Structure 1
Amino acid sequence: MQISKEELLKKANEQCKNTLLETLEIEMIDFGDDYLVARMPVTPKVHQPDGVLHGGATVALAESTGSFAAHLFIDVEKYFVRGIEITANHVKGVSEGFVYAKAKFLHKGRTTQLFEIKVTDDNDNLISFCKLSTIALPKQK
């Protein structure tokens, strides 16, 4: 039985309950063969004291999106995913609306995965460019 895109996104978002993703209101909204898109509202909750999006919140969005993307393409009954390195270049500030993270695979290995994650605003302006490495590790029985 194949699960629909809508059902898979709903299931992914349900897993965010009582986590940082729920706190930051991160929501998975789309995916394809080699990407996943999530969004986060830009509100005072994720602002720096001067009223613009905090870089740490941006990195949390990027890492969450990449890690979820890795989960979509592994056997979650046998493996779990952990981020092992993330870098971020913040290029533009934003103070309202939404930011969108699109995680695209650069490498989809059995053990390690590498993602390019572009964070954009409502007008598709680049806010941050991130790179994430993840690792799939076997679950202990």
Structure 2
Amino acid sequence: MTQPENTPNYLELIRERGSGALDKKMGIEILEASPERLVGRMPVEGNTQPIGLLHGGANVVLAESLGSIGTQLNAGPNRRIVGVDINATHHKSAMSGYVTGVATAVSIGKTLCVYEVVITNEQGQRTCSARITCMILAER
């Protein structure tokens, strides 16, 4: 898919800025990015409970990372963003491979952004549904 002219290369912007320490520890990789839609994946291995299932908190980290990145892309480089609310419903467990999160903007505003995040396993089955709200702080 080619980008329209004058549209920033959001993946390149993300790569230039780098990922946070937690995203690195979790193995989160951003595959597609724009303020309206983000896709990322995360390995199950290394992010499990003692019994071998993907930890529910790992799903929440993936969802918050995607929503936060989308909000930052909307806010621009001179404004900071913070997550103010997140919730997640876990539908199915994952024991191996990768899970993929697709964050779709519900609302993109000047001070608040809301994303719905659907996380699926490698078979395309929904494992988690999440919603994240981020606040865009005033420019400093």
Normalized against structure 2, the TM-score is what? 0.88
Which letter maps to 1:127?
T
Which letter maps to 1:31?
A
Q: Distance in 1 between matches of 2:132 and 2:9?
A: 27
User: Is residue 2:13 matched to residue 1:8?
Assistant: yes
Which letter maps to 1:138?
A
Name the counterpart of 1:100.
100
For 2:124, what is the secondary structure of its paired residue? coil
Q: How far 1:36 sits from its partner (Å)?
A: 0.6
For 1:53, what is the secondary structure of its paired residue? coil
Aligned pair count reads: 135
Name the counterpart of 2:31.
29
Q: Distance in 1 between matches of 2:53 and 2:90?
A: 12
Q: How far 1:76 sits from its partner (Å)?
A: 1.8
Contact 2:42 2:100 in 1 (8 A): yes
Alpha-carbon displacement from aligned partner over 1:33-90 (angstroms, at most 9, x marks no partner): 61011110110x211111110001110111011100111112221x111100000000
Name the counterpart of 2:115.
115
Normalized against structure 1, the TM-score is what? 0.88
Q: Summarize the alignment of residues 26-65 of structure 1 with structure 2, pairs less than 5 Å apart.
A: 26-32=28-34, 34-43=36-45, 45-65=46-66
Which letter maps to 1:100?
T
Contact 1:9 1:30 in 2 (8 A): no
Contact 2:44 2:54 in 1 (8 A): yes
Change (3 A) 1:57 1:107: same
Gaps of 5+ in 1: none
Identity of aligned residues (%): 30
Q: Please identify runs of 4+ aligned residues in structure 1 that moved more than 4 A.
A: none
Change (3 A) 1:132 1:98: same
Contact 2:35 2:70 in 1 (8 A): no
For 1:46, what is the secondary structure of its paired residue? coil
Gaps of 5+ in 2: 1-5
For 2:137, what is the secondary structure of its paired residue? strand
Contact 2:28 2:43 in 1 (8 A): yes
